[in-house]
Each structure stands twice: as C-alpha cells, then as structure tokens.
Structure 1
Amino acid sequence: MPPPTEDQTAVPVPAPRKRSAVRSLLRLWPYVRPVRARLFTAAFIAVVASCLSLVIPLVLKWMVDGPVADRDPAGVGWGALAVLLLGVAEALLFGLRRWLVARPLAGVEAALRADLFRRIQRLPMAFHDRWASGQLLSRGTTDLSLLRMFLAFPLTFLFVNGVTVLAGFVVLLAQDWMLGLVLLVPVVPLVVVCSLFETRYSAVARRAQDQVGDLTTVVEESVLGIRVVKGFGRHRSQELAFRARAERLRGTELGKARLLAWIWAVITIVPELAIGAALVLGTVQVADGTLSAGTLVAFLSTALALRWPVESIGFLLAMSQEAATATERYFEVMDRTEEDPGPSASVSAGGTGEGGVRFEGVEFRYPDAPDDAPPVLAGIDLHIRPGETMALVGATGSGKTTLTALVPRLHEITAGRILLDGEDITAMPRERLRALVSVAFEEPTLFSASAGENVLMGAAGAGEPELRRALAVAQAGFVDDLPEGAATQVGEQGLSLSGGQRQRLALARAVVGRPRFLVLDDPLSALDVHTEALVEAALREVLRDTTALVVAHRPSTVQLADRVALLSGGRIAAVGTHQELLRGSAEYAWLMSGARDERGAVGDGIG
C-alpha cells in the first residue's frame, strides 16, 4: 500500500455544517436533561467555592488595616484561622462538585455510546459501504471521551469562571474604582483575541479528529489483514502508510499546540501588564495617603485570585471547540436515516399471486452512483417456485452477489418489486423478512464468540438439537475436536480457523433455523473436493424443505439446483436446466467449461 497523499482520506466525510460551537453543543441537551439537577447543583457549589477565594482578600485587608497596623497578635491569629477555614471550605466544596458530576456524566457517555452503536447497527448497507470503520470507531471512543471531559470540566468552569470574574471585578471596583478600571482595559482586546482563536482552533480540531479516524482505520485494517500483510511481506508498506498518517496527525496536533501557546501567552501577558500598572498606581496612592495599605493588599490579592479564571479561558475554549467538533462528528452518524423497519408486525400485506420468490422488473443502482451510470441490475424478471432451488450463474461482475443481497433487503431496489410467496418484501417488517430469509455469504464473517454461539446467531431461540443438526448439514464435525468443543472461542473474525472451517460454520448458521427461503452466495468455494461432496449431499436434504437461490461458480454446485438462471450484464439472459443451458447458451457453456477445467474430474460427468 503506497503512503497516502495529503488530500487522501479514508472515508468521504461530509462537509460539516456551518454552525457555532454553542449550537453544536446544545444538541447534547437531550442527553444532559435527565441529570440537569445534579449538574446545576454542582455548578452552584463550584460558584460558591470559587467566590470564597474572593473573601480571603477582604480578610487580608481587615488584617493589614486592623491587627497588623495595631500590632495585635491575637487579631492576626484570628485572621489566619479565617483564611485557613475559607481555604478548607473551598477545597471541600470543589470535591463535592466532582463527586456530584462523576456518576451522571458516566451515564451520559454510556447513553451516547449506546445510541451510536444502535444507530450504526440500523444504518443501511449503502452507508457502511462508504464509511471506513476506523472513522466510526473514533467517533465511538475518542470523540465521546472528549464530550465526557467537556461536560465534566469546561461546561461547568466556563460558567463558574465567568461568574467569578464578574464578582471579582465588582469587588475590585468597590475597593477602588480607578484601579478597577485599569484592570478592565484588557477586556476588549482579550475578547477579540479569543474570537479569532475560536475560529482558527475549530478548523484545526476538526482536522485532527478526522485524521485520528484515518489512523484508526489503518491500524484496524493492518490487524485484521495481518495474514495478508505477513504473507506478502507488506509490513513495510503498511508501516509507511501508518507513518504518513501519523505524521499528518502530528503536524496537526503541533498546529493546535502553537495556537494554544499563542492564546495562553496573550491571555497571561495582557492581564499581568494590567496588574503591574495597577500596582504602580496603587503604590503611588498609598504613598500619597489616598489609599490604605490594606486596600492595596486586598486589591492585588483579588486581582491575583482572578488570574486563574482569566488564564483558563484559553484551554477551556480549546476543549469546548474540540467537544463541539466531536459533537458534529457524532451527529454526522446519528443524523443518517436508518433502514425503514417496515410496517409493524401486526400488519400483513396479504399474500397474492404465486408462491416462492418472484422478481418483477427489478432494477438496482447504488445510491451514490452518477445519474448517467447504467444500473447494476436492470429488468430482472425471475420466478423461483416454492420448494425449488435456483442456481444463479454469471461472469465476475455480472451482479450475482448484488441480486442475492436484494432478497433480505441488505440493499433497496431502485425499481420493480420482489415477492416472497406473493407478498412484497417492502411491505414486510424487516424483522419478519429476515426471519423468513436466511443467508450465507461467500466471505464468511465470524464474531469473537464461541463456535456454537456463531452458529446459533442464525436463529433466535435455537438450542443444542438445532445446533447439532446444522453442524451435521455443514459437515462441521471439526467443532467437536476443538479444545472446548462448540464452546471454543474462535477469535476475532474466526482467524483461528481455516477458510473452509469458517465457511462451514457460516453455512451452519444459515440453515440452523430451518429457513423458509435460503440465499447462498457461493457457500462452498473454500471447501476441498471431498468435503464439498459431503456438504452437497447434506444440503440436498435441507434444500428439499426450502426455496433457495444459490450463487454457483462450479458445475458441482449447479447440480444442487433444479434450474439455472444465467445473469449477464445485469440482466437474466436465460433460464432452464443445466443441460438445456449447455445446449442453448454459448456463454453458459463457456462459463461451465472454465469451471470444469478448474475442478478437473469434479465436472466430468456434468456435460
């Protein structure tokens, strides 16, 4: 894999809508609403704790102008005790605030993650065909962590620090209005600087989070495809691809760091200059006798107490911008339209016409295909009679897999209709449709579960008897030889098993529920000759009780079918028995002769 160029992206992420950070973050309100009482309580407690720090300068003023000036040690001791108690109370209140928000915010994050996972599971296949899984993973992990941190810290302290700064300036102006105005001078330039920072940081933060998704995709693909990487010695190219994306992310993160350093420097230096000016002016006033020493001490102590609320604005704004972009990325997925579940289970469309599976004028084109592109499938008319097995044959790229995916509505047809026992599949609830139709794909997908759990996933409520029958049909007796039998964990993607073993488990999953309709996409491609013969013999028993559509690439698989449909150029070119098509279709005869050459003696008795 060559290193990516600067403009490459692993997923066509839609351009984010232009909305302010506040409007983006307000979309989280439905998740925050159930815990708003504790969050508001925690914010109030934090305000009280923060404002206690403003009382300490007033105590110092009393101490300097009173006990210190009067040389009263007892008064100084009482003042020191008051300062200590105020500090302890502030610490306890901040600890209470943290305790109040910890549990509800963990619940908010869990709810966000659960809704995201639920939405991903219900989005159509067209969505998953276009989006890289690494982008989805980064939204469910990194982005949600950013949102939890925002709700725990910046959301509260942007408000708390704002209230503290306002209260502090009231105290400053009350002590000496002239010195207070000196400290107010930097407010206007700071507002302008923060506005510029917010705009620039938002763009950089979005770019960084998208690049995290790209990097996650490379890591995930390299781990899942580790056999290919090692088998072809491509670890170096994968390393280069990872390094290129990591360098891009590093550059973006350094850009974020530069922006943070710049805003931090400005927010720190400007108030410090104002405090320095106030110190000089206040010292002159004390020397002139127009200002008491205690007032100057209290004024400077209050100004210093406001340093943290002011200086924290920079990184609080940065965290808020990152949370806003994380919110946008989260809702980019949540705003996608789910698959239509169809009418409720209590509604029946009423079967009409002939039984079995019927395709009537079916057309399909991918949703993102150009308007002038020809459809993948066009004018498909095909009838599979009840209890019949129809083999679907065609050259590579003719649309066989796409056609089989239309029956369980993994993709939605563009025109025409598909009937199961006379009932339009679009009028069925998806749950009922997928209970009627069972599928086995050419590329078997197994989950990080036991072998038995992977098989029983094919039928709700199936138990040990159904599991044993399905394993027998799929000639998957190897399961009993695994260390823990059917309870053996097969690992991620079933990589601990061979290709043929994975395919047999996937086939067992397809037949475990005794489906009424069965769709098999070349389910025997990874089997050796002898195992294939055994599986075919067992499948014949299963196919007697179901209506099946089987994608076939070999004459031996065609033998399972009652009739054969030839798919050519996205259309049904011919339908008939194997012998009829051999005699009447040159294309079919050519396809079968190639398959026979590949399999040698397996096809010798077919022509």
Structure 2
Amino acid sequence: MSEKREPARNRSAVRSLLRLWPYLRPVRLRWGTAAVVAVVASCLGLVIPLVLKWIVDGPVAEQDPGGVWLGALYVLLLGVAEAGLFGLRRWLVARPLAGVEAAMRADLYRRLQRLPISFHDRWASGQLLSRGTADLSLLRMFLAFPLTFLFVNAVTIVAGYVILLGQEWTLGLVLLVPVAPLVVLCFLFETRYSLVARRAQDQVGDVTTVIEESVLGIRIVKGFGRHRSQQLAFRALTGRLRGTELEKARLLAWIWALITFLPELAVGAALVLGTMQVADGELSAGTLVAFLSTTLALRWPVESIGFLIAMSQEAATATERFFEVMDEAEEEPGGAVTSVPAAGDGVRFEGVSFRYPDAPEDARPVLDGVDLHIRAGETMALVGATGSGKTTLTALVPRLHEATGGRILLDGEDITAMPRERLRELVSVAFEEPTLFSATVAENVLMGAGPSGDDDTEALGRALAVAQARDFVDALPEGAGTQVGEQGLSLSGGQRQRLALARAVVGRPRFLVLDDPLSALDVHTEALVEAALREVLRGTTALVVAHRPSTVLLADRVALLSEGRVKAVGTHHELLRSDPEYAWLMSGTEHGRGTDPR
C-alpha cells in the first residue's frame, strides 16, 4: 500500500533546503572554505581579460614580442591556478559531504525502526527505499556542486558586472537589460519545475516498489505465469515516469534556450556598439577585447542558472521527501518504570478496544471491549473466525499497535507505563508469517535472546530442539552458520516457521505470544513440536492463536473471540459442549457448507 500523498505545497525551496543545516553544521568550516576557494578560482578567470587588455593596448600596440610572451605566461599561470583551486574545492567537500549523506541515511534508518507499525502499514517500502537511496544521493550531489556554485556564480556575476561597468559603463548597461526578464522567467520556471520534479521522484518510488515486490514475489509471478501482466504494469509505470522526465527535459530546454538567447542578444548589441566606439576612437581596442573576454567568462555562470535552479528544486523536493519521514511521530517510549513487574497476576485485558487509524468513522471497531484474564503460568488459546481480531489482539501485547480504549496489564503493571524496550524483553512473539533476515540461522534465532544478542550456543541448541529444527539445521551446508538468504526463501515454509518459533522461545520469555505458530507444519512434525513446546509453556504465561484442535490442546483454557469481543472462556471440552460457534470452528467445516450454528 502506498502512502497517502498530499497535494504539492507551494513551499519555498530555500525554506526546505534550510532544514539541511543541522547536518551541514558539523562540516560548515570545510564546506565554507571550499566555497571561498571556488569563488577565488572563479574570480581568477575574470583577471584574464584584464591581462588581455594590457597585452593588446601595451605590447601588441607597441609591437613588443617580449611583452606578449610575458602576458601569455600570466594567462597560463592564472589558468593553472584556477584549475588547481577548483580541484582543491572538490577535495575539500568530497569527504565531509559523504559523511553528511551517511549521517542522514543513518538517521532515516533509525527513524524507520522507531516509527509505529501503523506508519509502515500506510507506506510502500519502495517509497521509503527511494528516499534512503536516490534522494539522499541527489542531495549529496547538490551540496557538492549546485549549492556551492549558486553562491560562486552569483558572486562571479556581480564581480564581472562591476568590471564591465568599470571598463565601459554604456556597454555594461546594455548587458544589464536582460536581467529583469531573466528573473521573471526563472521564477516561472521554478514554480512549474518544482511540481514536475516532485511527481518524478514519487514515480521513482512507485517503480522501486514494483521492482521490489516482483523480486520478492518471483515465485508467485512464475508459478502463475504472470510475467507478462507484471511487465505490462511495470511498463505503464515506467511510461508515466518517462513522460514526466521528458516534461522536465522540455522545461529545462525552454529555460536554457531563453537564458542563453537573451544574454547573447545583449552581447551582440554591445559588440556592435563597442566596435563603433573603437572606430570613432572613443574606446581602445584592448578595452573592447577585455570587455568581450569578460562577457565570455560570465557566459557559463549566467547560462548555468537554469540548470542550477532545476537541481535546487530537485534537491528541495528530495529534502521534503526525507523530512516527510523524519517528521513522523515515533512510538511513544512508554513510562519510566524500570523495575520488573512482580510475578503472579499474568495478563489482563480490561475493556480493550481497537480501531485502525485510517478506518472509516462508521466502521465497527476491530476489538470492542475485550475482557480477558490469563493467569500467571497459564496458556490461553485464542480461537475465532477469520477477521474476528485475534492477530490484532496479540499485536497489542507488545504494543505493535496501541489500544484505542481500555488497558492491558502484565502481572498488574499497565504496559503503557513500561518503557518499550523493557516490555519487549518480557514479551516474545512468533507471527503466523515468519520473517527471516539475510543472516545466518544462528543470528536469526538469537535475535530473540535479548538485547545482548550473544552467541549462546546452549540457548540456540535448546530453542532449535523445541522447534524441532535441529535436524534440518545440522543438514545445512554450514549448520547454524548458514546464510538463509533474503526473507529466508532458501528454506521451506515449515522450516522458516520453526526458526521463527525457535526465535520466540530462545530467550525464555516471561510472556509468550504465538500467532498460529504451527500452521505450516506437517502433522508428524507438529506433534513433535507440540510435545517439546509443552515443556516451554509450563514456565511462561502464554497467549496462543489457534485454528486446529491439536494446537488448542496445548492450552489450559480457551477464549472464543467473536465480533471483537470475548464470547466465552473455558476448557476445550467445555466449549465444545456449551458453545455451538466454537464447536463449528473446531469441526473443520468450511464456511458456506452446512449450517453456521451462529
């Protein structure tokens, strides 16, 4: 699901870019030095026309070859100095700006880890990926070149016009005529280009999302022979992106042509006027040469205005996209309680309600006043029809989602009063869809061992034994040190689920939440896992989402969740006798066949 995009706002590019200052502040001295060096280098180019004026009006007019060679040496030295200073500028900014990019990427990654699940439910992963890669690379390039040269070129243009007016003010005024129309054109260009640049960068995020989904879902694409439809969908997205990029190119071509044409028109007029003044003896030939050379030296700073403005707009858009994520509110850290809750009361749900933030106002809450007590050391099975809220209820215990009403107590302590880190040390979770990382088997399992993440060989072996995973792990090429690959797709579904279960039990948590942890196992492996899991469950307080009688039998009691409420609580056999809905759910009757006893 893609994030909800807001309409483009007329926010000043300068205001957006100023938000980068906290990242630039640590490198401001080196970056500022590089800008000064670039200004000096650029202004050295304006000295060359003055040397040419001296050569023409002096040695050339006086037919002094030695003076001409001396002037040529001065020009050569100025050119070498200019090139050396520009090289020094690049060296000065390369390392610190790479550090700025790394710091921004680290902050973005850190923020993504701390944002609530509801944020990740709304945002497409490709959009987040493009912000952390393409957008930040664009910002680094902008800080290294366009931002510096916006300042450098502005100083160079002002200095150049001062020199032009000093040489011959009438010709200088001719060159100032295009300034007003250029300012208006640049303003119109900036307004239009900012909208197109934002659209293009959002479309890059959409393309990234499709590529990522296609790679991760390649088995589905191939299995159902959907490569052609996927290709057509991808072609449609890239076609829209291509159209947007062409629109950007048209805007750039338009502004570049006008920025080039208007000054060139003024230069032509100044050349004609200057030639007439030389012919009339009102102006020396050297002055006209210096004037025209200075004008040529200013050609790049003037013509680059459109290019630099375009890159500034793209950088401003990238900055906005970066801070759209950084401005999102993190998960509330919880209370300052650091003590471990006293054992003895188990888990209590008191009037717990929940509705998703983006749900329609008239929609029924997913959970509506859930009251449930799981005694300390007890295993409670949670049973209900599809969509009854079972998975949502389990996600509230470690505060992956925040309850919108009521409260949840762990051994008498309100979970909202606990620091999240402490809460998640106490509560361990295994989800129905097992997620593994591109790491070794041991590293994946020991993620559940606590914040230290120590390589505890004994705990790892015990957890693998509980999950009946030791045999297949030992058979892997490098045992527990084998890399499982992205999403663990090199393993079967049952193998991934057993590793996820091992991760949940490896730390011997006080509270254990299992969301249908055995759904992908065959009946024989399931029986073995259940036998080992019973030993683990004796030492913890557990809530287990169950769909099959064999899983329900792991529990001491069963809670039936229906339409967002706990309808009944009892043992498996009690509910079979007393509740028709529970008996129907446990019968394995498919929905739509026979009669629903509800």
TM-score category by the smaller chain?
A: over 0.9
Structure 2 unpaired stretches of 5+: 592-598
Counterpart check, 1:190 vs 2:193: no
- Residue of structure 2 in register with 1:568 after alignment: 562
Residue in structure 1 matching 2:169, options 177, 181, 199: 177
- Residue of structure 2 in register with 1:378 after alignment: 368
Counterpart check, 1:338 vs 2:330: yes
Residue in structure 1 matching 2:25, options 27, 30, 33: 33
Q: Offset of 1:237 from its aligned partner? A: 1.1
Counterpart check, 1:114 vs 2:106: yes
Q: Offset of 1:14 from its aligned partner? A: 3.2
- Residue of structure 2 in register with 1:6 after alignment: none
Q: Offset of 1:11 from its aligned partner? A: 2.9
Counterpart check, 1:537 vs 2:531: yes
- Residue of structure 2 in register with 1:143 after alignment: 135
Counterpart check, 1:59 vs 2:51: yes
Residue in structure 1 matching 2:576, options 574, 582, 589: 582
Counterpart check, 1:261 vs 2:253: yes
Counterpart check, 1:485 vs 2:479: yes
Q: Offset of 1:595 from its aligned partner? A: 6.5
Q: Offset of 1:577 from its aligned partner? A: 0.3
Counterpart check, 1:592 vs 2:553: no
Letter in 2 for 1:447: F
Q: Residues 336 and 417 of structure 2 are in contact (CA less than 8 Å); yes or no, is this contact kept in structure 1?
A: no
Q: Residues 365 and 377 of structure 1 are in contact (CA less than 8 Å); yes or no, is this contact kept in structure 2?
A: yes
Q: Name the SS for the 1:361 alignment partner.
A: strand
- Residue of structure 2 in register with 1:220 after alignment: 212
Structure 2-normalised TM-score?
Answer: 0.97
- Residue of structure 2 in register with 1:434 after alignment: 424
For residues 171 and 228 of structure 1, what CA distance do their matches in structure 2 show? Answer: 69
Counterpart check, 1:391 vs 2:381: yes
Letter in 2 for 1:195: F
Q: Residues 560 and 566 of structure 2 are in contact (CA less than 8 Å); yes or no, is this contact kept in structure 1?
A: yes
Distance of aligned partners of 1:345 and 1:358 in 2 relative to their CA distance in 1, 3 Å threshold: closer
- Residue of structure 2 in register with 1:125 after alignment: 117
Q: Offset of 1:349 from its aligned partner? A: 9.3
- Residue of structure 2 in register with 1:310 after alignment: 302
Structure 1 unpaired stretches of 5+: 1-8, 598-607
Counterpart check, 1:518 vs 2:512: yes
For residues 226 and 206 of structure 1, what CA distance do their matches in structure 2 show? Answer: 30
Counterpart check, 1:498 vs 2:488: no
Letter in 2 for 1:311: E
Q: Name the SS for the 2:449 alignment partner.
A: coil
Residue in structure 2 matching 1:18, options 7, 10, 28: 10
- Residue of structure 1 in register with 2:553 after alignment: 559
Q: Residues 393 and 551 of structure 1 are in contact (CA less than 8 Å); yes or no, is this contact kept in structure 2?
A: yes
Q: Residues 349 and 428 of structure 1 are in contact (CA less than 8 Å); yes or no, is this contact kept in structure 2?
A: no
Q: Offset of 1:371 from its aligned partner? A: 2.0
Counterpart check, 1:368 vs 2:361: no
More moved, 12-21 vs 227-236: 12-21
Measured against aligned partners, the alpha-carbon deviations of 1:168-191 in whole angstroms (never above 9, x if no partner) come to: 000000000000000000000000
For residues 10 and 445 of structure 1, what CA distance do their matches in structure 2 show? Answer: 21
For residues 581 and 42 of structure 2, what CA distance do their matches in structure 1 show? Answer: 82
Q: Offset of 1:343 from its aligned partner? A: 2.5
Letter in 2 for 1:421: D
Measured against aligned partners, the alpha-carbon deviations of 1:278-328 in whole angstroms (never above 9, x if no partner) come to: 000000000000000000000000001000000000110000000000000
- Residue of structure 1 in register with 2:221 after alignment: 229
For residues 237 and 230 of structure 1, what CA distance do their matches in structure 2 show? Answer: 11
Letter in 1 for 2:459: E
Q: Residues 349 and 424 of structure 1 are in contact (CA less than 8 Å); yes or no, is this contact kept in structure 2?
A: no
For residues 481 and 338 of structure 1, what CA distance do their matches in structure 2 show? Answer: 42
Residue in structure 1 matching 2:262, options 245, 265, 270: 270
Q: Which consecutive segments of 4 or more residues in structure 1 shift more than 4 A?
A: 348-352
Residue in structure 2 matching 1:468, options 452, 461, 466: 461
- Residue of structure 2 in register with 1:322 after alignment: 314
Measured against aligned partners, the alpha-carbon deviations of 1:462-496 in whole angstroms (never above 9, x if no partner) come to: 51000000000000021000000000000000000
Letter in 1 for 2:183: V
Q: Name the SS for the 1:312 alignment partner.
A: helix
Q: Offset of 1:594 from its aligned partner? A: 1.2
Counterpart check, 1:359 vs 2:349: yes
Measured against aligned partners, the alpha-carbon deviations of 1:266-288 in whole angstroms (never above 9, x if no partner) come to: 00111111101000000000000
Q: Residues 394 and 515 of structure 2 are in contact (CA less than 8 Å); yes or no, is this contact kept in structure 1?
A: yes
Measured against aligned partners, the alpha-carbon deviations of 1:37-58 in whole angstroms (never above 9, x if no partner) come to: 0111111110000000000000
Residue in structure 2 matching 1:298, options 290, 304, 311: 290
- Residue of structure 2 in register with 1:604 after alignment: none
For residues 365 and 299 of structure 1, what CA distance do their matches in structure 2 show? Answer: 73
Q: Offset of 1:369 from its aligned partner? A: 1.4
Q: Name the SS for the 2:519 alignment partner.
A: coil
Distance of aligned partners of 1:16 and 1:435 in 2 relative to their CA distance in 1, 3 Å threshold: farther
Distance of aligned partners of 1:288 and 1:64 in 2 relative to their CA distance in 1, 3 Å threshold: same
Letter in 1 for 2:524: H
For residues 79 and 163 of structure 2, what CA distance do their matches in structure 1 show? Answer: 19
Q: Residues 554 and 596 of structure 1 are in contact (CA less than 8 Å); yes or no, is this contact kept in structure 2?
A: no
- Residue of structure 2 in register with 1:401 after alignment: 391
Q: Offset of 1:370 from its aligned partner? A: 2.0
Q: Residues 554 and 595 of structure 1 are in contact (CA less than 8 Å); yes or no, is this contact kept in structure 2?
A: no
- Residue of structure 1 in register with 2:447 after alignment: 457
Letter in 2 for 1:240: L
For residues 337 and 287 of structure 2, what CA distance do their matches in structure 1 show? Answer: 77
Letter in 1 for 2:263: P
